[in-house]
Structure 1
Amino acid sequence: MIKILIVDDEQSAGRILKVLLEKHIPGDKQIEISNKPTEALSLLETFKPSLVMLDIEMPGMNGFDFMNQASEWDFDVIFTTAYDKYAIKAIRFSALDYLLKPIDIVDLKNAVNRHIVKMQTATASSQQPLVDNLIYNLRQKSQEHFKLALSTNEGVFLYNPQDIVLLEASSNYTKFFFANQKTLIVSKTLKEYEDILLDHQFLRVHKSYLVNKGHVIKVDREGVLELNNKMHIPVSRRRKAEILQWFNQI
């Protein structure tokens, strides 16, 4: 049994989301809708949802304020929002799920299924560190100060993007290399992180590598990058000219 709480100040939006969940998400589920964030805070304790689908833009108390005031953190959250580039960037940096309105059915299924898998495999853990990081990121005046949350089997780790030297693809996993020589493996694809780090001086130099420009010290004529951690990274043929041009301009 999945217990889902929908929090959205627009009654029609809440009803539509409930219909979509009932129609497209199989299995037993119990769904409650609240159009008032203050009421929804009480429902966290009485209804005890395992998943909260939370609208961001609400008068009086927005979705982030709601999460900040929640007394319990034993649930997953999926944010729902109209396009808000800065908020979405902060959410993605914090390893949290979101859905854009109008909600796409495939995206909805994928997001809810991720929650179901976590519950079934007993990997569910408190999202408080992720939400705390989201709140921290939203308080920053510029996204260059965002911290990237990396959720692993060992726990949640927070890093400044400039401390990341290199990301390496490994099937559906990504291996992170850091300036302090530490490494982490995260169960997300390199493509996902390429999208997240696009505005943070990262270059996709090869299908298997995403490199932080700030840690490149040399590009040889063969198109091999030397990084300041002594690693040597090949550049794909189609990216070689672009990378050489970039390096010659700095």
Structure 2
Amino acid sequence: MIRILIVDDEPSAGNILHLLIEKHISGQKEIKICLSPEAARDIIPVFKPSLLMLDIEMPHMNGFDLLNRIGNWDFDVIFTTAYDKYAIKAIRFSALDYLLKPIDIPDLQNAINRHIVRQNLQPREQGRLVDNLISNLQQKDAASFKLALSTMEGVFFYDPADILRCEGDDNYTHFYFINHKPLIVSRTLKDFEEILTDHGFMRVHKSYLVNMHYVEKLDKEGLLWLSDGSNAVVSRRRRRDVLDVLSRK
């Protein structure tokens, strides 16, 4: 049973989302709608949702303010927003989900499916993800964001600068760090490419995403050597781009 609380100050938006969930999400579910964050604060302790579908832009108190004021949660969150580039980046860095309005049905289905997977996380871990989001939003710029990595062992938080490289393996990504043991995350390399490109990372091969700050050389065989002695294969079509980046270091 999924208990879903939709929080959106626009009645039509909340009703449409309710209908989409009823029609396109299988399994048992109970859905309620709140038209304000203030009302949501009162109903959450009573309804005890497993999933909060939370609009970001609302008058008086936005979605992030609501989470900050609740302070203690044992539910998952999927944000809904028309478009806020900075907020979306903070959400993705925090391993949380968002849906762009108007909501696309496959995106909704994928987000709900990821919620079902995340239900295996302990409530404390869910809270840490939201805490990280709130902390990221308080930073002056995205360069200070902490990246949340959710694994079978729990949730871990890292500065992007601590990551040497990432290797893709189908729907999994292997992370290698400067001073930490490797981690495996159940998300595609493409997901992290979109998140980390602005932080000095480059997709040098279909299977490799590299922090270019740690690259020492590209050899004649097309291997990119990093400061820890490891290497990554560079695809032929990306060698020119890699050389261009290295020439500017």
Alpha-carbon shift at residue 222 of structure 1 (Å)? 2.7
Which runs of structure 2 are paired with 1:57-206 in the superposition (5 Å)?
57-119=57-119, 122-123=120-121, 125-126=123-124, 127-206=126-205
Comparing 71-80 and 186-195, the one that deviates more: 71-80
8 Å CA contact 2:151–2:186 kept in 1: the answer is yes
Q: SS at 1:74's partner residue?
A: coil
Alpha-carbon shift at residue 123 of structure 1 (Å)? 4.3
Distance across 2 between alignment mates of 1:147 and 1:5: 28
1:181/1:45 Cα in 2 relative to 1: closer, same or farther (>3 Å)?
closer
Alpha-carbon shift at residue 181 of structure 1 (Å)? 4.6
8 Å CA contact 2:136–2:144 kept in 1: the answer is yes
- Aligned residue type for 2:203: R
Distance across 1 between alignment mates of 2:170 and 2:113: 20
Residue 19 (str. 1) matches residue 19 (str. 2): yes
Alpha-carbon shift at residue 124 of structure 1 (Å)? 5.2
Identity of aligned residues (%): 62
The runs of 4+ residues in structure 1 deviating greater than 2 Å are 116-119, 122-126
Which runs of structure 2 are paired with 1:212-227 in the superposition (5 Å)?
212-227=211-226
Alpha-carbon shift at residue 27 of structure 1 (Å)? 2.0
1:249/1:72 Cα in 2 relative to 1: closer, same or farther (>3 Å)?
closer
- Aligned residue type for 2:161: Q
Taking structure 1 as the reference length, what is the TM-score of the superposition?
0.95
Q: SS at 2:199's partner residue?
A: coil
Gaps of 5+ in 1: none
- Aligned residue type for 1:210: L
The corresponding residue for 2:239 is 240
The corresponding residue for 1:6 is 6
Alpha-carbon shift at residue 84 of structure 1 (Å)? 0.6
Q: SS at 1:198's partner residue?
A: helix
8 Å CA contact 1:44–1:72 kept in 2: the answer is no
8 Å CA contact 1:223–1:244 kept in 2: the answer is no
Distance across 2 between alignment mates of 1:61 and 1:103: 22
Gaps of 5+ in 2: none
Distance across 1 between alignment mates of 2:70 and 2:243: 50
Taking structure 2 as the reference length, what is the TM-score of the superposition?
0.96
Alpha-carbon shift at residue 114 of structure 1 (Å)? 1.8
Distance across 2 between alignment mates of 1:140 and 1:220: 39
- Aligned residue type for 2:242: I
